[in-house]
Structure 1
Amino acid sequence: MIGHIFRRILDALIPISSESSIARSLSEETLTELLHPMIHRDKQWIVALFPYRNPKVRALIRAIKYRGEKAPLPALGRILADEIIQILADKKTLEGWRNPLLIPIPSSSARLKSRGYNQVERITLATLPHLEGQVTYAPDVLGREDRASQVEVLKSEREKNIAGAFSVIRPEKVSGMHVILIDDVAETGTTLIDAKRALIGAGASEVIAITLAH
């Protein structure tokens, strides 16, 4: 509850127009300096690249998500692709991963209609020029029911709100495959947990997730 209130206060401190300006001002060099990859404390299969409490990171994520800001995407795509390549190097050597599915967390149809875009899909697309031959992009695998936005739900209610929201539309593409999920922010991780549940239920061998921030 306290964390939820703290996030709301931070959101109010920076006007959305200022967030877009901050996002456009962030060079790849600056983003690299802000980079601080960390494994989620409760879910070892989730890796986040940037600390969300950093005001610049927060402005960046919100500008991409709520304002449709595209200027930072090429730099973010290169940075995210580098992280994916590093993780894949270990997975290939230690666990025999080959050409995993790269899946952006989908928006619900209602959210996509109201916003006009899925920011996670845009982020994921920005990685593809740097991952040629190493992953299979699969945006058509997961479906998502319309639910209340996780941002608008208290932490204590998020697991219940998202439970069962995801389903696998193309199980034939998932069975026996390794999967990398991409999302913008992982706080409690409940969205990624439910997406992973659906993928494992459809026969995926293993699922990991990489998010921009935590």
Structure 2
Amino acid sequence: MPPLRNAVDRARIVQTPDGAELQVHIRGPADAPVTAVLAHGWALASDTWRPQAARLAAEPGVAVRTVRWDQRGHGGSTLGSRPLGSAVLGDDLMRVLEHCAPEGPVVLGGHSTGGRAVIALAAAHPGFTADRVSGVLLAATGAGRLEATGPGRPLGARAGAAARRCAMRALGLAPGAVDRLRLLLPPHAGAFRAAVRRTAFGPPPIRCTCGSAPS
């Protein structure tokens, strides 16, 4: 039986520079040998990981500390002013780590969009990943090219991303049009699946053909 203080969540708010407030739930002993930081998927919340957090905190002798949070715009977290994308989710993950797991080894777990946050963190902070991350779990997520950011991003890519954001905002303001579109393009249609795959998980992965190892 774990101590009561390790069997319940401790809530914390982590603020981001653009004004988002991230609701964080921490469970387990502060002196645990490792911290599991768990990111949920699109349209879900940190409760997705609640059973795993409870199990990890209750392991006798090897209790694991868990940190899970509501992604911005989900659950108890506010949206902030930055447009959503892999880069901002990776930045949020880094901020959660800085405030809630500043020391010791961590294992990162990401489901769906949460996995994109983990990949974005690794791309933006390779030194941190090498020094602090002991393991990574990616569940039902995409591993394609991350969005290019900064001044060097091709104009066509920036224009395409802006067009997609405008289209999503327009659909959000016209629920009737969305319902009619669903009738024309039901979820089981191949075109619907292809659109979800492309918009939610990004471009197809870059395939690498590696030569055989020298004998």
TM-score relative to the length of structure 2: 0.31
Q: Which has the higher contact order (CA 8 A, sep 6+)?
A: 1
Q: Which has the higher helix share?
A: 1
